């Protein structure tokens, strides 16, 4: 059972060693975390997160040569597809017919960087509203400190990541017998979540109004906001494996 | 009338130039902002904020020689009085019999640094629960962007500063005819404030539970928490003046 929840409102508010021994949950709701969840739920065999474009291209080439399997390159810079890549960062682009049975090498501006920042964590889960219940179930089985890491947008705190951190913290506290130690940032995101879910549309209104939501609407990706706010759609949790450098779906069995 | 409220949850989340043209409100509720408010309300003629101890000592010496007036040195490092100083950072140490008619050279770990970080702002107010209503009245008369700057504690986000930012943003929005543009951090602190004031004790419970509150209780300064949470006790607003480098009370006349 966990004893403590800490929330990092932006990666730069933490040092890599802060994560040591914890279970970290990376939250880049619009859209990296959600898109990784969709991809794995659609049958992608693994997602390989990379910080840099060149690194992603090189790893994709190596994987193709080594395995002979089909490998897709996905991700974004400034919210749009990277030249020479197969897929952008929209979850709608990752259905089974596109990704099933394939590995996806993936790089985004904020989410993959937040993950790399938290590499000293004992376990690294990728959180989203889509796999909220599965994440909470997985965290309930963990020990010690849970670290909720909001990826933010280009160095700014974003409401949608804080909202999901608040949702996970609220559910984890509600479903745990003992009182968990909460840091101030966790208390703040819990209050934000509790306030936002009082709206008729639930979290959707808050996500639309957030920095990430406004950016997506401006770029014509409004449909993605709904796709990323479907609570509990996915029964597993994407988990990063330190040794292989891959993210696969942990089904909590 | 202001058009926009931005909240900076920690100074390091902003660049000095972000403040250009705005009205900044520095929030270090436990205790620099509150203590400065008490000191000026007790009749201190000015508070001179300094980042470093040596700088404070030098300025105090110069002021004494130049004016012949009595000058007090106040502030803290690690929450306790600085060797050779006259006063620590407890508002209880700044009654009229101690400070009336005197200038106070003041240095603290977080609050004075947050102020110096925001020096490019057009106006700089020192906010607290004590002068909440006066701050809101002053902001209502301003134009453009209001920047709420949470000082935090040694690089960590602290609930008490966020709570006061939420209080100011809530009141300013409520008392303004038009819809203000709010960034995500402002929305989050508003939700935090609205949630916390539902407790029977109002903000006091939230301040006690905050990082700053827990630190003060541990150091034996629990009474200060109550002193710093008295809403609207002080009718003026401490304001920093760029040219003189001093903070004096603006009474809103």
Instruction: Write out pLDDT tens, residues A101-137.
Output: 999 999 998 999 999 999 999 999 999 999 999 999 9
Contact call for A187 and B159, based on CB within 8 A: yes
Which chain B residues touch A12 with a CB distance below 8 Å?
Answer: 12-13
Query: Residue range B86-97: average pLDDT?
Result: 97
Query: Residue range B207-218: average pLDDT?
Result: 95
If we measure between CA atoms, which residue out of B182, B144, B143, B178 comes closest to residue B165?
B182
Considering only the beta carbons, identify the residue of A10, A12, A191 that sits closest to B196.
A191
Q: Is A248 exposed, middle or buried (0-12, 13-18, 19+ CB in 10 A)?
A: middle
Identify the pLDDT of residue A199: 86
Examine the pLDDT at B253 and tell me if it is beyond 60: no
Structure confidence at residue B68 as a pLDDT band (50, 70, 90)? confident
Identify the pLDDT of residue A69: 81
Which percentage of chain A shows pLDDT scores above 90?
A: 91
Give the Cα separation of A172 and A2 in Å (integer).
Answer: 9
Give the Cα separation of A8 and A150 in Å (integer).
Answer: 6
B227–chain A nearest CA distance, Å: 21
Q: Which helix (H) or strand (E) holds B227?
A: helix B222-228
Domains of chain A by residue range: 2-248
Average pLDDT, chain A: 95
Beta bridge partners of B104: B47, B72
Which chain B residues touch A206 with a CB distance below 8 Å?
Answer: 187
Considering only the beta carbons, identify the residue of A10, A155, A162 that sits closest to B188.
A162
Examine the pLDDT at B251 and tell me if it is beyond 90: no
Q: What are the residues whose beta carbons fall under 8 Å from the beta carbon of A143, sequence distance 6 or more?
A: A1, A2, A3
- Closest chain B residue by Cα to residue A207: B184
Give the Cα separation of A180 and B210 in Å (integer).
Answer: 15
Identify the pLDDT of residue A67: 80
Give the Cα separation of A163 and A64 in Å (integer).
Answer: 38
**Range in A145-159, B4-18, B159-173, B196-210 the model is least confident about:** B196-210
If we measure between CA atoms, which residue out of B151, B149, B197, B143 comes closest to residue B170?
B197
Contact call for B159 and A211, based on CB within 8 A: no
If we measure between CA atoms, which residue out of B185, B151, B210 comes closest to residue B24?
B151
Which chain B residues touch A27 with a CB distance below 8 Å?
Answer: none
Which two structure tokens, joined as six digits, stand for A213?
């939501």
Considering only the beta carbons, identify the residue of B157, B183, B191 that sits closest to A185.
B157
Tens-digit pLDDT profile for residues A16-49: 999 999 999 999 999 999 999 999 999 999 999 9
Q: Which residue has the tokens 């660049």?
A: B15
Give the Cα separation of A10 and A2 in Å (integer).
Answer: 22
Identify the pLDDT of residue A68: 79
Query: By the CB < 8 Å criterion, does A83 face chain B?
Result: no
Which chain A residues touch B9 with a CB distance below 8 Å?
Answer: 9, 157
Q: Which helix (H) or strand (E) holds B150?
A: strand B144-150
Within a 10 A sphere around the Cβ of A216, how many other Cβ atoms?
Answer: 23
Which chain B residues touch A196 with a CB distance below 8 Å?
Answer: 191
* Interface with A, mutate which of B12, B181, B188, B210 (most A CBs under 10 A): B188
Which percentage of chain B shows pLDDT scores above 90?
A: 91
B12–chain A nearest CA distance, Å: 9
Characterize the bridge pairing of strands A71-75 and A103-107. parallel
Which chain A residues touch B210 with a CB distance below 8 Å?
Answer: 184
Give the Cα separation of A40 and A96 in Å (integer).
Answer: 9
Give the Cα separation of A115 and B64 in Å (integer).
Answer: 55
Which chain B residues touch A9 with a CB distance below 8 Å?
Answer: 9, 157
Give the Cα separation of B89 and B92 in Å (integer).
Answer: 9
Query: By the CB < 8 Å criterion, does B180 face chain A?
Result: no
Query: By the CB < 8 Å criterion, does A229 face chain B?
Result: no
Fold entry, domain B2-248: putative 2-phosphosulfolactate phosphatase (3.90.1560)
Return residues 189-208 of A near B (CB < 8 Å).
189, 191-192, 194-196, 206
Q: Is-contact B95 B44, C-beta < 8 A?
A: no
Query: By the CB < 8 Å criterion, does B220 face chain A?
Result: no
B64–chain A nearest CA distance, Å: 41
Query: By the CB < 8 Å criterion, does A181 face chain B?
Result: no
**A121: alpha, beta or left? (left if phi > 0; alpha if psi -120 to 50):** beta
What sign has the CA pseudo-torsion A115, A181, B160, A199?
A: positive
Which two structure tokens, joined as six digits, stand for A119?
């590499």
Q: Output the CA torsion A42→A25→A208→B16 (10° steps).
A: -140
Query: By the CB < 8 Å criterion, does A188 face chain B?
Result: yes
Contact call for A10 and B13, based on CB within 8 A: yes
Query: By the CB < 8 Å criterion, does A184 face chain B?
Result: yes
Query: By the CB < 8 Å criterion, does B32 face chain A?
Result: no
Q: Is-contact A112 A10, C-beta < 8 A?
A: no
- Closest chain B residue by Cα to residue A198: B191
Contact call for A159 and B189, based on CB within 8 A: no
Give the Cα separation of B10 and A14 in Å (integer).
Answer: 13
Identify the pLDDT of residue A138: 96
Query: Residue range B131-159: average pLDDT?
Result: 96
Cis amide leading into A131 (omega within 30): no
Structure confidence at residue A173 as a pLDDT band (50, 70, 90)? very high
Identify the pLDDT of residue A201: 84
Q: How many CA atoms lie within 13 A of A190 on its CB side?
A: 19
Distances B197 to A185, B127, B176, B183, B224 between C-alpha atoms, Å: 17, 18, 21, 22, 19
Identify the pLDDT of residue B172: 98
Contact call for A188 and B189, based on CB within 8 A: yes
If we measure between CA atoms, which residue out of B236, B44, B79 comes closest to residue B153?
B79
A194–chain B nearest CA distance, Å: 8
Measured in degrees and rounded to the nearest 5, phi and psi for residue B77 equal: -135, 135
């Amino acid at each position: 059972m966990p004893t403590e929840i800490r929330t990092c409102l932006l990666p730069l508010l933490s040092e890599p060693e802060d994560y040591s021994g914890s279970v970290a949950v990376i939250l880049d709701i619009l859209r990296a975390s959600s898109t990784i969840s969709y991809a794995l739920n659609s049958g992608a065999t693994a997602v390989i997160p990379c910080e840099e474009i060149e690194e992603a291209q090189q790893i994709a080439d190596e994987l193709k040569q080594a395995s002979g399997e089909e490998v897709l390159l996905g991700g974004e810079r400034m919210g749009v597809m990277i030249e020479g890549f197969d897929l952008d960062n929209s979850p709608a682009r990752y259905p089974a017919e596109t990704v099933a049975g394939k590995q996806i090498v993936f790089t985004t501006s904020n989410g993959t960087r937040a993950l790399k920042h938290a590499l000293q964590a004992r376990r690294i889960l990728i959180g989203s509203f889509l796999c909220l219940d599965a994440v909470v179930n997985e965290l309930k089985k963990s020990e010690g400190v849970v670290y909720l890491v909001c990826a933010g947008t280009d160095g700014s705190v974003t409401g949608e990541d804080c909202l999901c951190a608040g949702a996970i913290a609220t559910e984890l506290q509600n479903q745990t017998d003992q009182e968990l130690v909460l840091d101030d940032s966790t208390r703040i995101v819990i209050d934000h979540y509790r306030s936002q879910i009082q709206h008729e549309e639930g979290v959707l209104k808050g996500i639309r109004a957030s920095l990430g939501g406004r950016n997506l609407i401006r770029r014509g990706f409004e449909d993605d906001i709904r796709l990323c706010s479907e609570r509990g759609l996915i029964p597993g949790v994407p988990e990063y494996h330190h040794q292989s450098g891959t993210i696969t779906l942990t089904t909590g069995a």
